[in-house]
Structure 1
Amino acid sequence: MAIDARVRGQLEKLTPEERLEQRCDIEAMDEISAKGGFRPDKVIAYAFGDPKLDGTTFKTKGAVFRSKGEWYRLSYKCETSPDRLEVNAFKFQIGDQVPHEDWAAHYLYD
């Protein structure tokens, strides 16, 4: 999904690695919203494990997203253009809801 000029301008201020992660997190929220049933307002790529970066590819099995005040596990693979502003390929899988008692250990909040 294309991003608006304001978001593009903000992303361009980041390092290439930060831009890749942020752009992929934005895509994750867009894709999850399009699937229906969720209204994600935050994605954290590293809550349950470190993501893997390889050039313009970002993969994480330890991500989470927040929707309607609850956190859910998420894994995704995101491939971007060389400038890391356009998403060329995106695959994701939504996992289980994160129990409230696990939130503090993973720095999650409502």
Structure 2
Amino acid sequence: MKTLSISLALVAMVTPALAAPDARFLRALDKLDPKTRLEQICDLEAMKKMNQGGTRADRAKSDVISPPKHLGNTLVAKGGAYRAGGKWYQLSLTCKATPDHKTVLDFSYKTGAEIPQAKWAAYGLWK
């Protein structure tokens, strides 16, 4: 539960503008274990890239439908999700970060179908 609280706080620090992570965000990342830190920085990058592409994503999670794979400094998530317009959609991504897991070096993603609201609770999603 502590990780979830820190994770939500991290998103709150950067979501309004989806600008570069500020100093508070980077300090908060230091409190996370390396795997969680990688997931957080990649989730943030997903929101940033989707917003740049015209999708108004306000949340992204790499671990919704299935757990992501951690391959050193690379995260491969085939069972993620993102929220846009009050609905959740499937998300797959590959994200390579620096060894400290604070900066994304390479990122690609693919969006998928809408996730029916009837499945939200099972996946830990919210409105």
Structure with the largest fraction of strand: 1
Structure with the largest fraction of helix: 2
Residue type matched to 1:20 in 2? L
Which of residues 49, 52, 55 is equivalent to 1:34?
Answer: 52
Which of residues 96, 100, 105 is equivalent to 2:113?
Answer: 96
Q: Using the alignment, how far apart are the partners of 1:74 and 1:19 within structure 2?
A: 19
Q: Using the alignment, how far apart are the partners of 2:72 and 2:36 within structure 1?
A: 12
On the 8 A contact 1:48/1:106 being kept in 2, the answer is: yes
State the structure with bigger RCO (CA 8 A, min sep 6), 1 or 2.
1
Asked if 1:19 is matched to 2:65, the reply is: no
Residue type matched to 1:26 in 2? L
Identity of matched residues, %: 39
Gaps of 5+ in 2: 1-18
Structure 1 position 2, deviation (Å) = 4.1
* Alignment length (residue pairs): 109
Structure 1 position 104, deviation (Å) = 2.0
Compute the RMSD of aligned alpha carbons: 1.3
Residue matched to 1:6: 24
Residue matched to 2:61: 44
Cα shift readout 1:4-46 (whole Å, capped 9, x = no counterpart): 222111112211111111111111110111110x222221211
Cα shift readout 1:27-69 (whole Å, capped 9, x = no counterpart): 1110111110x22222121111110001100010000011121
